[in-house]
Amino acid sequence: MPDYETRLVRTQQRMAALGVDLLFLPPSADLHYLTGVPREEPNFGSTHYPGEWLTGGWIPRQGEPVLTLPRMLAEFHLGQVPGHALHILPDTGDPTALAAQVLNALGISSTAVIGIGDRTWAETLLHLQDLRPRATFRRASTVLGPLRRIKDPEEQALLRRAGEITEAAYQATLARLRHGMTNLDLITEVNYQLKRHGADTHSFVTAFYNMGPNYPFDFTNRAEVLQVPLEPPVSVSFDFGAAYQGYCYDYGRSVFFGEPDAEYRRCYGLVMAAQAAGIRALRAGNTCAQADAAARRVIQEGGYGEAFRHRLGHGIGMDVHEPPFLTAGDETVLEEGMCFTVEPSIFIPRRLGARVEDVVVVGPEGGEPLTQGFQDLHVVE
């Protein structure tokens, strides 16, 4: 179990150093990181409850956090986390009065500095501004970002387990691949296998990118091509991952339906070599831009530089995409314990597509990938 007490102490120390009196965190990775209050699987349509704008945690510079929840969320969704004060808003309660009560009880003055979670609803901020019109509001990520950036051994173990689940789901899906199946079949199978092998859910929307002479669409998990049969020759690139105990995995492999030609095999080899170069460059003391350049150089020298059309990777942990990013211009210095995806690709619409993706931990001599299986090209004959 994560050491929430130590996380809280470190957070409050940063708040003191930065002059922040209070953090308000809605249900999010930040709140989960600090208190263990879980997040729900996302809904396409919003489900609002009376007074839901005050749902979240109030973290003072000193003392224990306070949680405020509408009754429906408290009883049926998020629930109580032991060790923290919980205030439940009745269905007919006054959320503004409850928020004022919490602010007063925590001693938050009229001129306080209040950090707001970066994905807090505008409705929440507007109400807090009404309650403390002279307060200064800042982004909570200035406090929590540097703390979440370095993953301790327990966090790395959770990411490793998420990777094991993801690879197990991939292996099970490979056994089901057949000519004529569709992206809808693939998405359904992958998401089923993730749950079957222990994922809490999929960490983002499962996607497949199909490239071949008979496939005019660039990135084909759109509705109009979900049921187009996958017939040779076509490359199919997986992009998916498991969520496990609050941590997100992001994984990619490419397979080929039919017999790949010499150019495809060469491009696949370049992508794998580029990833290996990027992993070696995830050495503490290098910069994010240097890691990106090391991988990109392999594909450029192979003659396909323009077909590597995106950054090398992104930070990952309790969110799928976290800063910093492995891209040109990001001069963030790498530190041991940072975790990134390393995901080079070569994509040429109507022709071919190859990509690979693993989560990698920055180390003193280079990166440590948390998944290492299925390096050879899988061909669906």
Q: What is the pLDDT of residue 236?
A: 96
Asked if the 150-380 domain carries CATH number 3.90.230.10, the reply is yes
Whole-angstrom distance, CA of residue 317 vs CA of residue 35: 16
Helix segments in the chain, DSSP class H = 4-18, 29-35, 71-76, 95-105, 122-131, 141-149, 153-174, 183-196, 262-281, 288-301
**CATH 3.40.350.10 domain span(s) along the chain:** 4-148
* Distant-in-sequence, close-in-space partners of 249: CB < 8 Å, separation ≥ 6: 159, 162, 163, 165, 166, 203, 241, 242, 243, 316, 359
Q: With 0-12 CB in 10 A as exposed, 13-18 as middle and 19+ as buried, what is 26? A: buried
Packing angle of the helix pair 95-105, 122-131 (nearest 10 deg): 60
β partners of residue 361: 339, 368
**CATH 3.90.230.10 domain span(s) along the chain:** 150-380
Q: What angle do CA 255, 219, 341 make, to 5 degrees?
A: 65
Q: What is the CATH number of domain 4-148?
A: 3.40.350.10
Q: What is the pLDDT of residue 4?
A: 92
The helix (run of H) or strand (run of E) holding residue 326 is: strand 322-326
Q: What is the pLDDT of residue 20?
A: 98
Q: Is the dihedral of CA 67, 69, 18, 337 positive or negative?
A: positive
Say if CB 158 and CB 200 are below 8 A apart. Answer: no
Closest CA to 31 of 56, 3, 61: 56
Q: 315-328: per-residue pLDDT in tens?
A: 999 999 999 999 99
Beta sheet of 85-89, edge-to-edge order: 85-89, 66-70, 56-60, 22-25, 113-116, 136-139
Whole-angstrom distance, CA of residue 343 vs CA of residue 360: 10
Q: What is the pLDDT of residue 132?
A: 98
Low-confidence ranges of the chain (pLDDT < 50): 220
Q: What is the pLDDT of residue 46?
A: 84
Q: DSSP readout, 147-184?
A: HHHSPPHHHHHHHHHHHHHHHHHHHHHHTT--TT--HH
Packing angle of the helix pair 153-174, 183-196 (nearest 10 deg): 130
